[in-house]
Structure 1
Amino acid sequence: MKIGRISTKDSKEALAVVVEQAGGLRVLDVSALALRRPDLFDFSASMADLMMAGPSGLEQVYAAIEWARREGEEAWFQAEPDVNWLLPVAVRNCIAAGRNFRKHRAEGMAYWEAQGAASGFHDEIPSAFAKLPTSMVPTRSTVQRPANVDAFDYEIEVAAVIGKPGLCVSEARALDLVFGYTILNDLSAREWQRSEMKNQMILLGKNFPGFGPLGPWILTADEVADPAALNIELRVNDEVRQQATCDDLIFSFPQMIAHWSQIGLDAGDLITSGTPEGVANSRKPDPSPYFLKPGDKVEAIVDQIGVLETSIA
């Protein structure tokens, strides 16, 4: 199921699902349907309550979709391009993996070797940084390039959306915490990132306003047999810049979730995959033509999930 949050015509938040119908993707306002048919649900039709409801909540939403189709209630469905998407979930924390695709790590090693800072790299445990919820914006947002940023880069990532609490879970149980998967474009200010990383820290370079496009919706975990099989691609102005499969991860989603559950995870947390090779910063011989500029259109695509669209201003 593809499920997210939308802003209705009267500016209220609503739970919505995406369905395939003749003529393209259509969106069903589950919250509106719950007001009309409260007998179909035993939870309030919000993303937070759906996560708490667990599998029974998903079953009720599936049943509601079938009811709307069976009853021919076409008025419940909107064309997907006409929908105003919000962030798919109210993000609590975002733990963003660093250097977790093998080929991306390899492409970045030359720079750090030149800085004399590559000798300490290891694969003993996952590494990550904080992507602040305040940096996040929904699909079809316009992100302003900061005036003090020239090396404005893109990074497509898959984000596992945690749906329930977990502390010190095993790898075998880790995916039980996952409600679903969405897309993150980890926008980055490389000149700030490089300066911060000389002190072995990073925060500002990843967290300017709008630096976390997220969405467009969540693909529920029941439709993802193996997250390692997810195919990802990023395009800038229709040019493919990144393309990979999540089987190139150094640390798998179960490994990362188990590791980071030591700090305690809860519904609304995100654990991201890291990004594959192809970032602008690693382009040779001159990366500058590849950095994002005003007027650029960025599409972060996970074929099983959808397309996260961002405009640069």
Structure 2
Amino acid sequence: MRLLTIELEGESHPAICLDTGQVLDLRSAPDLVFEDEWRPRSLRGVLELSNGIERLKKIRDVAEENIEQLSSCILDDDKISLLPPVPDPWLILSVGMNYGQHLAEMDNTPRPKHPAAFIKTRDTLLGSGRSIEVPRQCSDMIDYEGEMSFVFGKMCHNVNEQEAMDYIVGYTIANDVSARNWIPDIYSGDPPFGPIHGWERNIMGKNLPGFTPCGPVIVTKDEIDDVNNLRLQTKLNGEVMQNSNTDDLIFKIPEIVSYFSKWYCFHPGDIITTGSPSGVGVGRDPQVFMKAGDRIEVEIENIGVLANELV
């Protein structure tokens, strides 16, 4: 099943994709598709229910049997305005240094002994099809990082690798847009605090508004046969910049979840991005950065295409 959030008249509406290729707006759907008084107000609210996904599957089945009676709340997918699938997560955690070939292009950075990650704020989230605003204060080194990401379906804290996948509801795409202006500070500052301050500024360069495009949908995990074998491509103005596969991930999802859940308590709707493969702009020779007027697309097999333009 494919889950999404759309914008209608300035408000967010949870929605699901139908087999017809159309989208069912759950906030506008009539009583016909519901079996009780429950009405979903947000996708995170659905995930917070222990049986939320099962409820959505029943709603989808009823809707597909009654398409003609639901014309007022069924939309063509080319006429919708997308928000991030979960616009309001409690936590966005972005894993870094997690593709073998990416480490090689970054001056042969050693493989980490354990997963490394940083937090991104929800203000960085942006739906597919929306514009990334180039910040005036750091406009010259804006980079892309296409990433396979996953979404939690229930509360998760201190779990082992064997049970980790039980807490995941599905997969989506993220673009960890990054202002690279402060990377030199990581290596040039006097220890111990110089590199620390450089790294801090580097992370802040990933937390500018709109710097985490996410979507277009969440694909539930039952629809993905092998999440560790998905083709990932990033295109800048139609040119392939990243061409990889999730089989190059150093740390797989169970290890990521088990490791970080020792500290963090993940809530339904929280997002972890799993890192970016090789081909990022800063790792190229010559380096390639995005500018206003560019179009960036991240495509992951069986999930979809996340597309945004820079303004």
Please state how far the C-alpha of 1:43 moved relative to its aligned partner.
Answer: 3.9
Residue matched to 1:243 = 243
Residue matched to 2:121 = 132
Residue matched to 1:292 = 290
Whether 2:220 is the aligned partner of 1:223: answer no
Whether 2:23 is the aligned partner of 1:11: answer no
Residue matched to 2:90 = 92
Residue matched to 2:146 = 156
Correspondence for 1:144 among 119, 129, 133: 133
Tell me if structure 2 keeps the 8 A contact 1:41–1:60: no
Please give the per-residue CA displacement for 1:27-83, whole angstroms capped at 9, x wherever unaligned: 1112222x43364356431312321234x3323322222222222326132111211
Among the aligned pairs, what percent are the same residue? 31
Structure 1: tracts of 5 or more residues without a match:
111-117
Which 4+ residue blocks in structure 1 deviate beyond 6 angstroms? Answer: none
Cα RMSD of the aligned pairs, angstroms, is 1.9
Q: Read off the aligned partner of 2:245 and give its amino acid letter.
A: T
Whether 2:241 is the aligned partner of 1:259: answer no
Distance 2:207 2:39 in 1: 33
SS at 1:206 equivalent: coil
Structure 2: tracts of 5 or more residues without a match:
190-194
Distance 1:223 1:39 in 2: 24
Correspondence for 2:161 among 167, 171, 177: 171
Distance 1:48 1:142 in 2: 24
SS at 2:243 equivalent: strand
Aligned residues: 295
Please state how far the C-alpha of 1:18 moved relative to its aligned partner.
Answer: 1.7
SS at 2:234 equivalent: strand
Distance 1:80 1:245 in 2: 27
Correspondence for 1:44 among 31, 39, 42: 39
Distance 2:292 2:205 in 1: 18
Q: Read off the aligned partner of 1:91 and give its amino acid letter.
A: P
Distance 1:229 1:43 in 2: 38
Distance 1:160 1:26 in 2: 24
Distance 2:129 2:157 in 1: 35
TM-score normalised to the size of structure 1? 0.88
Residue matched to 1:70 = 65
TM-score normalised to the size of structure 2? 0.88
Residue matched to 1:115 = none
